[in-house]
Structure 1
């Protein structure tokens, strides 16, 4: 267990926060710090064909140890952390034999990780938890996944009696800003299918995700002295507010679950002359997804029609960009790859939690690039914030699942 803890802490204490405003890949130079460390570690444990390209994509091979033909499988995780919360100066705390009570993350700031609010904590009573110190995120998303893949490969190398085919692993930058698969060379990777180790609690097995788009709506206005503004001023902030009120009130992240889609406004800034509204659009159902985009367009046109005479040109400009699509369409034709993962979990006494992802992973984009790629639990909870934590026992189980998938795939048919 300590080896796993030390490896994980070694990864998370390296700041790899990505930057959505950067145009480079990786989006931040500091991601290279962990990328270069990983290359050295992969060499140390004895993997082969280790490569890192000029965009920090890492690939490596564990050769087959069986004589018969076996599909080449892959395991993938990302090493960047979310820009939603600070990933600098992370100081993990190790809580042994968790007693099921409140965990004081930071006494000075009165930050407490409590099972009264985060009820999942009670599943891990008696286990070892790794938490933040209340001032940063932890980075279990997805450095837990990297820890598990490296540890599983090391275990297979040290236990050659376990049969397995050729295994490819890859670590990517910039997943948290939606670019993790953009420069992923599927042909070079050379796997028949792969699994991202990027889920949450033990047992998660996911092959459905949101269809996703972003929308940026710019509202124009006219600034006039407020004392003489009647019939002349156009306040772009009020128009933006009107746009927001036209969206379905109960179709927001905090009001939806399961297969329910949403509109999520995440940024609003403006003045009288110009206001910019940014939101994301999510839905598992492709038709509903298209309808949501059409609603944005419909509201925009309605506003433009209302102000056409007064403003003289379009007063609202919408820019909608598709981000990724539901991987289900690409995975269902090769559903056996999900069945193998499910069998691996059941063999290990882990109850599979097969459910749709309310988000996206590298796997959804990779599936559309020709690499079917379901998602498996990495063990962490409360990602992207100061309450993030991961049970060490969950990471151990993820390592076991990787090893078992490799073993099951190598079985003679």
Structure 2
């Protein structure tokens, strides 16, 4: 399965960082360039019905080669990388036979992947690891998923004696900015169910995720000369600070785990006259999710009473919901993935997604879509890494799922 590693190393050279400010799909031209390359590759390996639409969605299929009544299974990954850090000029480091010690990513800038900070790397002792050079993210989220899916279907095509039903694949833009399913044509995809290959470490199997919303808090101030500002100046940055500290200080990503929700401030920009704060709101429980949105609105009302009406406003938009409700009626798709992992000597780890995938929204669009591991760690930052054996196992699991449904 060396092909999956070769593909991955090729794909991460494409800069596909998404951008929530552009308002178009795909949000950046690099994603469309990558989509064109993938569509061409899918044609070259012999896939059928390869398509690329104006929004950058790539779809293709491997037709059934059996007379059995086998469900149509989809596999989906996203092409964009997170806007949190640059994905341009990715220069991966390949660490063979990892010895369990700290890894120097960038000697000149003294950037080190430390075992004490990321103890999970100890699970990779003796394995080959691909890391960043400390100046960019790696892009395993989700180019590892793309490479794993293509490698699996390529294997099916090259081995026609393997019996299988129709297999659909799709690659989407802008998942990292919450728009990956915006223009996904479920009817055209025409699968009975699907799996996103977008999870983390080996064995992750996820069928529930956060309910998610984004919030933009806008604060208006009034600027006058500081020498004569008494009872006249309204400093929007100070009100922003007040807003931040009115939220529970322990309900942030760095204080929560498991099924605990949070408020996460993602950016703060402003001056005396105007400040904007961007938040994401997350919770697994729908009622608690609604309560979080209410609390944020109540803080706005409180500050307006103090500083005057229309001083503070908030715009809250729901992004996606917990897929659990849509997965439960077709739980066999989770059970089959669980069994596939076991048969591939992978220990299944059924965990909630402390985030979201395209599958969350697709499940509410009529395509039940749990999430499977890619094998990567520390997504969205300079300390991202992925062991090569994990990518190979992901390919094995994809093929095993297809096999199990053919034999059922």
Q: What is the DSSP-based 3-state SS (H/G/I as helix, E as strand, rest coil) of the residue aligned with 2:218?
A: strand
Q: What is the DSSP-based 3-state SS (H/G/I as helix, E as strand, rest coil) of the residue aligned with 2:328?
A: helix
Counterpart CA distance in 2 for 1:283 and 1:62 is 38
> How high is the TM-score relative to the length of structure 2?
0.98
Counterpart CA distance in 1 for 2:126 and 2:161 is 33
**Gapped regions of structure 1 (runs ≥ 5):** none
What's the counterpart of residue 238 of structure 2?
238
Counterpart CA distance in 2 for 1:47 and 1:295 is 50
Counterpart CA distance in 2 for 1:336 and 1:244 is 44
What's the counterpart of residue 103 of structure 1?
103
1:292 offset after TM fit, Å? 0.3
2:367 aligned with 1:371, yes or no?
yes
Q: What is the DSSP-based 3-state SS (H/G/I as helix, E as strand, rest coil) of the residue aligned with 1:410?
A: helix
1:24 offset after TM fit, Å? 1.4
Q: In structure 1, which of residues 356, 361, 383 is the aligned counterpart of residue 352 of structure 2?
A: 356
8 A Cα contact 2:106 2:112, kept in partner: yes
1:399 offset after TM fit, Å? 0.2
Q: Which residues of 2 match residues 219-234 of structure 1 at below 5 A? A: 219-234=219-234
1:222 offset after TM fit, Å? 1.8
Counterpart CA distance in 1 for 2:26 and 2:227 is 51
2:303 aligned with 1:327, yes or no?
no
**Gapped regions of structure 2 (runs ≥ 5):** none
2:353 aligned with 1:336, yes or no?
no
1:201 offset after TM fit, Å? 0.2
1:224 offset after TM fit, Å? 2.4
1:112 offset after TM fit, Å? 1.4
Number of equivalenced pairs: 408
- Please give the per-residue CA displacement for 1:319-378, whole angstroms capped at 9, x wherever unaligned: 111111111111111111111100101111211100100000000011111100000000
Counterpart CA distance in 1 for 2:233 and 2:395 is 62
- Please give the per-residue CA displacement for 1:228-265, whole angstroms capped at 9, x wherever unaligned: 22222222111111111110110000000000000011
Q: In structure 1, which of residues 374, 379, 398 is the aligned counterpart of residue 394 of structure 2?
A: 398
Counterpart CA distance in 1 for 2:32 and 2:291 is 41
1:46 offset after TM fit, Å? 1.1
| Deviating more after overlay: 125-134 vs 358-367 | 125-134
Counterpart CA distance in 2 for 1:20 and 1:189 is 26
Q: Which residues of 2 match residues 178-193 of structure 1 at below 5 A? A: 178-193=178-193
What's the counterpart of residue 67 of structure 2?
67
8 A Cα contact 2:202 2:375, kept in partner: yes
Counterpart CA distance in 2 for 1:109 and 1:221 is 40
Q: What is the DSSP-based 3-state SS (H/G/I as helix, E as strand, rest coil) of the residue aligned with 1:162?
A: coil
What's the counterpart of residue 303 of structure 1?
303
What's the counterpart of residue 385 of structure 1?
381
Q: What is the DSSP-based 3-state SS (H/G/I as helix, E as strand, rest coil) of the residue aligned with 1:387?
A: coil
What's the counterpart of residue 201 of structure 1?
201
1:55 offset after TM fit, Å? 1.0
Q: What is the DSSP-based 3-state SS (H/G/I as helix, E as strand, rest coil) of the residue aligned with 2:216?
A: strand
2:80 aligned with 1:80, yes or no?
yes
Q: Which residues of 2 match residues 261-340 of structure 1 at below 5 A? A: 261-308=261-308, 313-340=309-336
Counterpart CA distance in 2 for 1:261 and 1:276 is 23
| Deviating more after overlay: 20-29 vs 152-161 | 152-161
1:206 offset after TM fit, Å? 0.2
1:5 offset after TM fit, Å? 1.9
What's the counterpart of residue 116 of structure 1?
116
1:276 offset after TM fit, Å? 1.1
1:133 offset after TM fit, Å? 1.2
Counterpart CA distance in 2 for 1:171 and 1:203 is 22
